[in-house]
Amino acid sequence: MSVVVTGASGHLGRLVTEELLARIPPSQLVLVTRHPDAIADLGDRGATIRRGDFDDPASLVPAFEGGERMLLISTLAVGRRVPQHRAAIEAAAAAGIRHLVYTSFPNPVADHPVGPIATEHGETEAILHESGLEWTVLRNATYAELQVPPGALAVAGGKLYTNAGDGRLVSVSRRDCARAAAAVMTTDGHEAKTYDVTGEEALSQTELAGLLSEVSGRAIELIPVGDRMLSWGLTRHGAPKPVARAIVAFGKAVREGYYDVVDPSVTTLTGAPPRSLRDVLVAHRGDLMAAV
């Protein structure tokens, strides 16, 4: 069995690769990236490294050739991801890939408050369903590691400003996403299945503030605000307008329940439970306290 991983030089790609190297011989692993030099060390361990660029479709078929299963890690190019992913899926089919696994997003529906960040995943899922390939979709929850930077701001200022209201957020560590992906890539029975890859807890903003207080040892006050007030405050303190809009949209999506999805898939797929957000914050406590 030959396994192809795209985006292999990224955060998730590296973690998936490490998990795969613990499961299959490196000679069965093909790592595709725009930056082959960045993962030369993985080549030294026996994996095959190939250049592939989703904006250069001609580079993809030779990059994927010989693979049987492929993990398509979604790109970060919001606004261009649908044509990029379409090119990758078409190239996978042309290269003889049999089963394609795609990293998607929670509730990637047309009316999602975060817009293309979510909806482009839904469009990609539709393309994959119609591709003729065997497929599996992994809807990864919000990465727990992404709670560290805003958490650090809350710790530094002693206040957590949020427009999320009574909504609840479910997160998952990148390592657990990697474990789930590696399990799907190396075992059978996942065809035509969509897995929500999540942690085990849905936290309110009150609970998040309490968790930040516990881990940091500093009291964090929760400050509920409306969408407009949050946007104004962010831009007033230097956030570019697109960034402010994205943060406000994320809070609105939490408030409206789009991220309130808890699923046992990590444990079911890997045999071990996912790490909690507390575990991740403790592991990154230095970053959480950096501005104090």
Domains of the chain: 3-140 (3.40.50.720), 141-173+198-261+274-292 (3.90.25.10)
Quote the distance between the C-alpha of residue 70 and its chain's center: 17
Average pLDDT over residues 226-242: 92
pLDDT band at residue 291 under the 50/70/90 scheme: confident
Tokens of 164: 């999320």
Residue 191 burial (CB count, 10 A) = 11
The alpha carbon dihedral of 96, 98, 104, 107 has a sign of positive
Average pLDDT over residues 15-38: 97
pLDDT band at residue 44 under the 50/70/90 scheme: very high
Report the C-alpha gap between 109 and 282 in whole angstroms. 33
> Over the range 65-75, which residues count as b (16 or more CB within 10 Å of their CB) and which as e?
bebebbbbbbb
pLDDT band at residue 168 under the 50/70/90 scheme: very high
pLDDT the model gives residue 119: 97
The model's pLDDT over 181-213, given as tens digits with 9 standing for 90+, comes to 999 999 999 999 999 999 999 999 999 999 999
pLDDT band at residue 95 under the 50/70/90 scheme: very high
pLDDT the model gives residue 1: 77
Backbone angles phi, psi at 70, to 5 degrees: -135, 135
Residues 6+ apart with CB under 8 A from 281: 144, 147, 148, 151, 211, 212, 215, 288
Average pLDDT over residues 52-75: 97
Considering the entire predicted model, what is its pTM? 0.96
